[in-house]
């Protein structure tokens, strides 16, 4: 895969997929030289299947052959074009998939019982999968077009009991080097199909096997003749693959994005590693450079160690010991309501007001003086003892060196940085944006070994954990009136609370959880954070749980009795209670006084000068309040003062209507 710029895969936050369902079509073009490679290919497919069953068991898989005269006559559900044989139709992998591949391998290797290997292996594969055309190179382009078309149809065809594929891949295996044989019409035809696949978000990965791989040496490179040089061999390969490079170098269309594969020939030994690599789901949170100073950086990427693509059902007991089940439900933003672009207004919040801004302003706000986002810039280091666990939010991200970049010695640099931080017991303070369109944040980069006790990193391997530092409005704080105190000595100036805890603590006392919140945090730990239950908790029944709660409650009663029976501790408690009540009452009295004053001002404004309601005041009250601020008595007195010019009313609404009619009649508004 060609190296991409940082952030390309995570640029759009709306494309994050939680219900991951991958579909893979393995497409093989049969040729006379391909039959010798089929045993190794099928063995690789079998290994791939076993790997996927363990890591992503719901992966869809299909195995298709082009230039094959065999047809799917026995299965009415499978229809295909001429020369296309679907050994396994695209669908979620199961036991049948494994059995089919295993049966083909056994049928092709039947022979000498002692060796288990047949001398007729090539002939047996040709019998199992007969070729349609002898000249596979000549008909390669048409076969390629047909098999790509078949794979696209199966990806887009709705299948009962199968979820829609969120990732669609076609792995095409061939040892033919000329996909269109200098036929420009055929070249354009295949490119149109590749463009159509790209618009359907189906990625094609060409695996070009060397035609005469059996003549290679142990290192996988072709055996050179005496007059050959290494550069000549490389140039020959480059020229041979020219058509493949031109084929995939097509205009991407309106979207302007496409996957550009690295076109190179492969040995069978290198095939397995590359195949597994492309089937692995991306599990990293971000990928960016860690800049220590200008000109010196380390490529890093962050891994989500405690996340999973699939959410399980979790059962828990609430405070009344009733059994409940929790599910995670993803509600997608798309619905039937279509919102036009011109109806969307972007705004930023300043204080309690929102100000609209355009795209130009938004782009300017996202610059932050950095051109190449995403990045992490080291702004300093500090002792680990100054890191406060309570001032952290979100989950930690496991940061490792990114070795899949052009930067050399990234792992060695990262290891040197890690050892230096461990030796000095320090952490890095970083600033940056881990994604292109994200806002800047501040992070700690903490070595897991020195923080395993405080941050529960015992299960983490040795590396750096990235901890997000919250802003002030993201931290739980004391009530606002506590912050407004001139000095905190008013709360506890002599350390009374510390002495109370020391004097009253029962030996081996455990923190008593809040019964109303305990089950919520249990769901968070087991379900959201995916924390594994200990063996003791797994075997604990309802009775044991209730006994544990009763034991904690008994300890609380014991502590209360100990405090009340000791005159020193009870006096401390009373002093603290008086202090807290005094502060709270002062704040409450202040709040009531302010509300009373505000209400009095409003009332004075609304009902001021009740007995002298003139035409100008009535007109003013009508414009500002619609006369709803005036009482019935005020309206009746105003009507009676006009000597029958204004009609009375049975209710307030009629009186207001008659008064407004009078004001309009005499142009008083």
pLDDT tens for each residue of 193-202: 998 888 888 9
Phi-psi category of 362—alpha, beta or left, where left has phi over 0 and alpha has psi -120 to 50?
Answer: alpha
Long-range contacts of 68-76 (CB under 8 A, 24+ apart): 68/30, 68/129, 68/130, 68/131, 68/132, 69/130, 69/131, 69/132, 70/129, 70/130
pLDDT digits (tens, 9 = 90+) for 605-659: 555 545 567 888 888 888 877 887 788 888 888 888 887 888 888 888 888 888 8
pLDDT, residue 303, reads 78
What's the token pair of residue 247? 């084929």
DSSP string, 165-222: PSEEEEEEEE----SSTT-HHHHHHHHHHHHHHHHTTEEEEEEEE-TTGGGB-TTSSB
What does the alpha-carbon distance between residue 89 and residue 97 come to, in Å, rounded to a whole number? 9
**Contact of 334 with 344, CB cutoff 8 Å:** no
pLDDT, residue 109, reads 62
pLDDT, residue 326, reads 55
Closest Cα to residue 504, out of 551, 550, 556? 556
pLDDT, residue 4, reads 39
What does the alpha-carbon distance between residue 91 and residue 25 come to, in Å, rounded to a whole number? 10
86: CB partners within 8 A, 6+ apart:
62, 63, 64, 65, 72, 78, 80, 150
Q: What are phi and psi of 545, to 5 degrees?
A: -65, -40
pLDDT band at 47 (very low <50, low <70, confident <90, very high): confident
pLDDT band at 561 (very low <50, low <70, confident <90, very high): confident
- Higher local confidence (pLDDT), 320 or 236: 320
pLDDT, residue 354, reads 65
What does the alpha-carbon distance between residue 183 and residue 180 come to, in Å, rounded to a whole number? 5
Which percentage of the chain shows pLDDT scores above 90? 5
pLDDT, residue 212, reads 63
Mean of all residue pLDDT scores within the chain? 72
412: CB partners within 8 A, 6+ apart:
none
Which percentage of the chain shows pLDDT scores above 70? 62
Question: Three-class SS of residue 362?
Answer: helix
The stretch 303-325 carries a mean pLDDT of 56
Pick the range with the lowest mean pLDDT from 163-177, 529-543, 574-588.
529-543
The stretch 212-218 carries a mean pLDDT of 48
pLDDT digits (tens, 9 = 90+) for 138-148: 888 899 999 99
pLDDT band at 230 (very low <50, low <70, confident <90, very high): very low
Whether residue 498 has pLDDT greater than 60: yes
Q: What are phi and psi of 617, to 5 degrees?
A: -70, -40
The stretch 494-501 carries a mean pLDDT of 74
- In a 13 Å sphere around the CA of 586, the CA atoms on its Cβ side amount to 12
Whether residue 339 has pLDDT greater than 60: no
The stretch 380-384 carries a mean pLDDT of 86
Whether residue 504 has pLDDT greater than 60: yes
pLDDT band at 28 (very low <50, low <70, confident <90, very high): very high
pLDDT, residue 601, reads 65
The stretch 94-107 carries a mean pLDDT of 80
The stretch 333-344 carries a mean pLDDT of 53
Tokens 């009508």 found at: 622
Closest Cα to residue 491, out of 503, 475, 478, 501? 478
Pick the range with the lowest mean pLDDT from 455-469, 536-550, 602-616, 644-658.
536-550
pTM over 0.75: no
The stretch 71-83 carries a mean pLDDT of 68
pLDDT digits (tens, 9 = 90+) for 113-125: 333 344 456 567 8
What does the alpha-carbon distance between residue 140 and residue 375 come to, in Å, rounded to a whole number? 45
**Contact of 601 with 642, CB cutoff 8 Å:** no
Whether residue 48 has pLDDT greater than 70: yes
Say which DSSP state 527 is in. I
Helix pair 140-156, 184-199: axis angle to 10 deg: 20
The stretch 478-491 carries a mean pLDDT of 71
Pick the range with the lowest mean pLDDT from 179-193, 238-252, 643-657.
238-252
DSSP string, 531-586: PPPPHHHHT--HHHHHHHHHHHHHHHHHHHHHHHH-HHHHHHHHHHHHHHHHHHHH
**Contact of 11 with 437, CB cutoff 8 Å:** yes
């Amino acid at each position: 895969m060609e190296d991409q710029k940082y952030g390309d895969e995570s640029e759009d936050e709306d494309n994050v997929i939680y219900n991951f369902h991958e579909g893979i079509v393995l497409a093989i073009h049969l040729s006379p030289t391909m039959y010798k490679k089929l045993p190794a290919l099928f063995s690789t497919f079998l290994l791939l299947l076993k790997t996927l069953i363990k890591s992503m068991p719901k992966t869809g898989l299909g195995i298709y052959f082009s230039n094959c005269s065999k047809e799917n006559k026995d299965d009415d559900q499978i229809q295909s074009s001429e020369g296309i044989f679907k050994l396994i139709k695209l669908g979620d992998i199961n036991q049948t998939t494994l059995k089919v591949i295993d049966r083909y391998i056994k049928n092709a290797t039947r022979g000498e019982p002692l060796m288990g290997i047949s001398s007729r292996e090539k002939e047996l594969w040709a019998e199992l999968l007969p070729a349609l055309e002898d000249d596979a190179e000549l008909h390669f382009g048409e076969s390629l077009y047909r098999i790509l078309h078949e794979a696209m149809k199966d990806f887009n065809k709705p299948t009962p009991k199968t979820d829609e594929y969120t990732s669609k891949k076609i792995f095409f295996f061939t040892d033919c080097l000329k996909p269109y044989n200098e036929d420009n019409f055929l070249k354009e035809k295949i490119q149109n199909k590749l463009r159509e696949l790209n618009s359907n978000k189906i990625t094609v990965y060409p695996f070009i096997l060397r035609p005469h791989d059996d003549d290679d040496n142990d290192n996988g490179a072709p055996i050179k003749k005496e007059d050959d040089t290494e550069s000549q061999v490389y140039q020959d390969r480059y020229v041979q693959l020219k058509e493949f490079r031109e084929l995939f170098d097509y205009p991407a269309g309106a979207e302007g994005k496409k996957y550009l594969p690295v076109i190179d020939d492969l040995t069978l030994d290198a095939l397995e590693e590359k195949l597994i690599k492309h089937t692995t789901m991306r599990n990293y949170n971000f990928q960016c450079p860690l800049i220590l100073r200008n000109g010196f950086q380390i490529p890093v990427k962050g891994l989500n160690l405690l996340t999973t693509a699939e959410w399980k059902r979790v059962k828990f007991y609430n405070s009344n010991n009733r059994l409940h089940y929790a599910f995670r439900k993803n509600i997608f933003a798309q619905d039937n309501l279509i919102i036009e672009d011109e109806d969307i207004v972007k705004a930023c919040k300043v204080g309690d007001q929102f100000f609209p801004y355009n795209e130009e302003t938004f782009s300017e706000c996202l610059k932050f003086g950095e051109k190449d986002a995403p990045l992490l810039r080291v702004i300093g280091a500090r002792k680990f003892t100054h890191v406060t666990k309570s001032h952290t939010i979100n989950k930690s991200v496991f940061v490792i060196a990114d070795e899949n970049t052009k930067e050399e010695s990234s792992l060695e640099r990262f290891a040197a940085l890690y050892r230096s931080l461990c030796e000095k017991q320090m952490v890095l303070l970083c600033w940056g944006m881990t994604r292109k369109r994200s806002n800047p944040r501040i992070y700690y980069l903490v070595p897991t070994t020195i923080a395993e006790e405080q941050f529960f990193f015992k299960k983490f391997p040795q590396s750096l954990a990235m901890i997000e530092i919250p802003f002030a409005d993201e931290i739980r704080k004391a009530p606002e009136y506590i912050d407004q105190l001139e000095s905190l000595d008013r709360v506890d100036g002599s350390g009374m609370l510390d002495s109370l805890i020391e004097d009253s603590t029962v030996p081996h006392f455990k923190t008593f959880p809040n019964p109303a919140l305990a089950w919520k945090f249990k769901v968070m730990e087991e379900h959201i954070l995916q924390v594994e239950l200990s063996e003791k908790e797994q075997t604990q029944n309802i009775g044991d749980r209730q006994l544990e709660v009763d034991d904690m409650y008994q300890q609380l009663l014991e502590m209360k009795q100990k405090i009340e029976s000791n005159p020193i501790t009870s006096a401390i408690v009373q002093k603290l209670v008086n202090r807290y009540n005094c502060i709270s009452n002062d704040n409450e009295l202040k709040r009531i006084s302010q509300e009373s004053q505000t209400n009095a001002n409003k009332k004075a404004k609304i009902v001021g000068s009740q007995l002298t309601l003139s035409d100008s005041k009535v007109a003013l009250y009508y414009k500002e309040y619609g006369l709803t601020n005036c009482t019935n008595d005020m309206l009746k007195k105003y009507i009676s003062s006009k000597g029958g010019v204004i009609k009375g009313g049975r209710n307030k609404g009629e009186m207001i209507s008659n008064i407004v009619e009078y004001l309009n009649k005499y142009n008083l508004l």
